[in-house]
Structure 1
């Protein structure tokens, strides 16, 4: 077959349409046109046509990767997973003149690795740069602790060594600042909790946010629970009265007293405060 015409596409100025006997044959990118030095009047064999189609497919895969990166930084694992979803090139189907004929089966791992290597050489893919950016962003905006970041980056495919280097972006001073910011915010939103439970819940919350256990335990002594302590008496009264209304329906005397103690203790009230409340309301348990 002989190329009768080469025409720049109207919708994409970097793509060209090849015609044989004035009938559309295939569309190719400018890079492929130049690579194969295609020209009007050129003789094209079936084997060369398949070779052109495969090269065009490979070029499209690379462009898809570039487009994926345009939305933000990616890890090598994220890029590998993305490319693995692209339909593979099929040399037999490529005998057809349809540009979509190659959309079959699973993309070749060799091509995936080739694209990833090319992107890495161009520094478009760099797990360390990704990790450093991730740490800076989440330390500043989400105020996550380093342990949580480490787990999330492991899930994104970064090696432990790369993560440890990236975490050097997160200073201890900033960790302490973030820990206190989150802790104080947590305390302000948990006004219904008694001091003991508030302290325990705060510790659980900060550990869940990824801060070091030793840092959390040391910092707990510096948080103020005065407001919670001042509210504890009123909160204990309200909670006990509410529990009493339900427990009195099933229990009385000593059994009711024990059930009240158990329930109030599970809700985080101080044991001495509970005993004092029981003593102050002893007539209810006679």
Structure 2
């Protein structure tokens, strides 16, 4: 039967050893594998022994890989499972590693959710829906997700969301109804619920002065009227202009007044 003839420390990693059987290199082993089997020179190892050593070494490699993966930032058990699966470790070994990580308190999905919550609330302007999506992607269980999404909503100050909405509204010019629509879309994309957005609009003033709206209407009228000149003539051109302006949120009577003010009667006029 094979005999261990040499065990030497690897040059590049003092925590690993090279194992030789009958003067031939057999495999590299982790220091924990070395200690676990109490390996020593002159020891006889049969096929069963070697299989146990190889299995344990795979387990130790997977543990080391998982620990390194977790060291960069907090991980969920699902993330660790996926990471190890990509490294071609067996399901059995992965399950053993997950158990080990829980025993050593290296994994805690509640702690992961709480940490992500705190980080996002401090560093982003995202709402609870985005937070929930990240937890789902990380494989957190529905019960934990429900609990921490609720906490996220409770801990995110309404004033902070109002500031986000105010910043968005300043970039959106036009009738109030359209500004509100665009702000709503932006907030939804950031992960806020309709209920929360309604709360925001109770605190947010998006009104614009009559002079500003008048100026915007004149600008948009000129753009639309000149645009439709390429395709339409006469009253058709006027009607298309009115439709375009109403889609932008302008009121019909305001549009009619502005058309008359601009001297547009039958669509044959040009606006400079």
- Partner of 1:260 in structure 2? 241
- Partner of 1:39 in structure 2? 40
- Over aligned residue pairs, what C-alpha RMSD do you find? 2.1
Match runs of 1:193-212 below 5 Å: 193-212=174-193
Structure 1 residue corresponding to 2:196, chosen from 192, 206, 215: 215
What's the CA shift string for 1:141-167, capped at 9, x where partnerless? 112111221233123211221013223
- Name the CA shift for 1:238/1:78 in 2 (closer, same or farther; >3 Å): same
Q: Is the 8 A contact 2:59 2:96 kept in 1?
A: no
More off after superposition, 121-130 vs 240-249 = 240-249
More off after superposition, 55-64 vs 220-229 = 220-229
- Partner-residue secondary structure (3-state), 2:18: strand
- Name the CA shift for 1:22/1:249 in 2 (closer, same or farther; >3 Å): closer
- Partner-residue secondary structure (3-state), 2:156: helix
TM-score if structure 2 supplies the norm length? 0.88
Q: Which runs of 5+ in 1 are unaligned?
A: 88-106
Shift of 1:201: 0.6
Match runs of 1:1-286 below 5 Å: 1-87=2-88, 107-170=89-152, 172=154, 174-190=156-172, 192-227=173-208, 230-285=211-266
Q: Tell me how far apart the structure 1 counterparts of residues 93 and 252 of structure 2 sit (CA, whole Å).
A: 67
- Name the CA shift for 1:230/1:45 in 2 (closer, same or farther; >3 Å): farther
- Partner of 1:91 in structure 2? none
Q: Is the 8 A contact 2:6 2:20 kept in 1?
A: yes
- Name the CA shift for 1:32/1:161 in 2 (closer, same or farther; >3 Å): same
Shift of 1:63: 0.9
- Name the CA shift for 1:81/1:245 in 2 (closer, same or farther; >3 Å): same
TM-score if structure 1 supplies the norm length? 0.84
